[in-house]
Structure 1
């Protein structure tokens, strides 16, 4: 079949639709970072927060987080390793080949599934009410490496796809770039502004969904299995629907769908 052929898998994916899988990543970021922070007092995607927590841990603060140094270093180190290896492999293999992008999302899904399986098996403690009862249990680091490594891969993939306005993991720069857009209130199509607004909405929606799942007493591995499923669906979408770029120049658009500047004769 065509979709299994080497030629099809080695094709360059259509970057014009590369923002769609990244929107899924935004929702997943809110879903999983809220779980991680509420249960274990550490982030797996937002590494700015971890850097601040690491600094506080040098003074044994907050006093309730006895393993803050270990958890933040584990998360930050795993994140950096995931991003680094993704960039290195992309340069070696052809960063926009269908196979590379598809496998990137498949591996991300598998890593979330590993964390979900560990939590489902009871190897990772839960604290759905966020009371801090489990922060003294060193086993809270167990699920951090696969989750943080996955987020490193995620943000690297967003850069490789060419959508720097969709980092998918954090919103600080997105907020600043959004309000700094001179066409913020324009009624005309403004792709970067619209993507930033969508990313804020999706991260917030993912986090709210996760919060209410925990509030209702659902086990946190539920959010992880949902995140893994979304990433597998994203990989399938890349495989089946992101066809090779066709006629971007003739369409007058860049690969990521933005208008190209016309040059005079």
Structure 2
């Protein structure tokens, strides 16, 4: 029976479909699509954009303060080392500004008698550099985010860079350092005769750099809300420890606040002992500064991997 309306038999239609599909497949294999790379390019772009967004979210995240007290204990250690080394090299402190304030006040009366007449300028330089660092770094934290990952990384990276400049000056002998050598003593004597300062005027540069960076550690302790761990001074810690009503309670681990303060005292003292030992060794003050740089860079790297603040911590 002939097909109605001139329609082709179903078998013929299926055959033509198979032939057409075969021809298209053969053509596609022999002539690759010239626009195939155009479809891949947006995919790579999307992957790149996703990576950028992920990195941005990672750096802008607020960090958890849990266990951050261990980082601050390292800051106590470094503060003790640098104050011991700086006092040996410059007769002033770069972290403990109470002592510098006293030295500056004594300078008004030309005291101590054995000190050069303008020795008080070192302490004044240290205090003002510390004040400047505290203002700038605390403003950065408040404006950008007190516990933002990138801000904490930047804080300690800046500390490492400024310390690096100071150690370069010490190693190049353009400023005082330790241990002193006969050659260095002769150079200092010439400076005293020519300038009348009693010490190399360039000493004020590393003092300013190291005092500026020292402020970054106590700023970090404040932003991380560990106000009982100021990292650079012990007077308040001594008082807080002895006035703690639970001083003798809680066993060895039960009183966390007491243990943090005691840990800070121990670490600062240990750092000062190490700083003094380095100052009298062949490594000198430069050795102390290099250790400080390594630790600060390690802390900056640690913030990059630090755990993000959870919703519960944020609401709490």
Question: Please, what TM-score do these two structures have when normalized by structure 1?
Answer: 0.88
Contact 2:129 2:208 in 1 (8 A): yes
Q: d(CA) in 1 for partners of 2:294 and 2:155?
A: 14
Larger Rg: 2
For residues 18-49 of structure 1, what are the alpha-carbon distances to aligned partners after superposition, in whole Å with 9 as ceiling and x for unaligned?
21221111110011000111121101000000
Q: d(CA) in 2 for partners of 1:35 and 1:3?
A: 44
Contact 1:21 1:234 in 2 (8 A): yes
Per the TM alignment, residue 128 of structure 1 is displaced from its structure 2 partner at its CA by 3.4
Higher helix share: 2
Q: d(CA) in 2 for partners of 1:55 and 1:128?
A: 28
Q: Among 114, 132, 135, which residue is 1:81 paired with?
A: 132
Q: Which runs of 5+ in 2 are unaligned?
A: 1-50, 189-196
Instruction: Count residues in correspondence.
Output: 248
Moved more, 182-191 or 224-233: 182-191
For residues 100-145 of structure 1, what are the alpha-carbon distances to aligned partners after superposition, in whole Å with 9 as ceiling and x for unaligned?
111111111111111111111111112437xxx7682133223111
Q: Which runs of 5+ in 1 are unaligned?
A: 261-265
Q: Which residue of 2 aligns with 1:245?
A: 309
Query: Is 1:216 aligned to residue 281 of structure 2?
Result: yes
Q: d(CA) in 2 for partners of 1:4 and 1:17?
A: 25
Q: Which residue of 1 aligns with 2:222?
A: 159
Q: d(CA) in 1 for partners of 2:287 and 2:304?
A: 26
Per the TM alignment, residue 4 of structure 1 is displaced from its structure 2 partner at its CA by 6.9
Q: Give the superposed CA RMSD.
A: 2.1
Query: Is 1:145 aligned to residue 145 of structure 2?
Result: no
Per the TM alignment, residue 153 of structure 1 is displaced from its structure 2 partner at its CA by 1.7
Per the TM alignment, residue 10 of structure 1 is displaced from its structure 2 partner at its CA by 0.5
Q: d(CA) in 1 for partners of 2:165 and 2:68?
A: 26
Q: What SS does the aligned partner of 1:32 have?
A: helix
Q: Which residue of 2 aligns with 1:95?
A: 146
Q: What SS does the aligned partner of 2:66 have?
A: helix
Q: d(CA) in 2 for partners of 1:216 and 1:3?
A: 49
Q: d(CA) in 1 for partners of 2:204 and 2:215?
A: 17
Q: d(CA) in 2 for partners of 1:172 and 1:236?
A: 31
Per the TM alignment, residue 3 of structure 1 is displaced from its structure 2 partner at its CA by 11
Q: d(CA) in 2 for partners of 1:182 and 1:120?
A: 49
Q: d(CA) in 2 for partners of 1:219 and 1:127?
A: 5
Matches within 5 A, 1:1-265: 5-66=55-116, 67-128=118-179, 136-137=198-199, 138-186=201-249, 187=251, 189-240=254-305, 242-246=306-310, 248=312
Contact 2:84 2:275 in 1 (8 A): yes
Contact 1:33 1:207 in 2 (8 A): yes
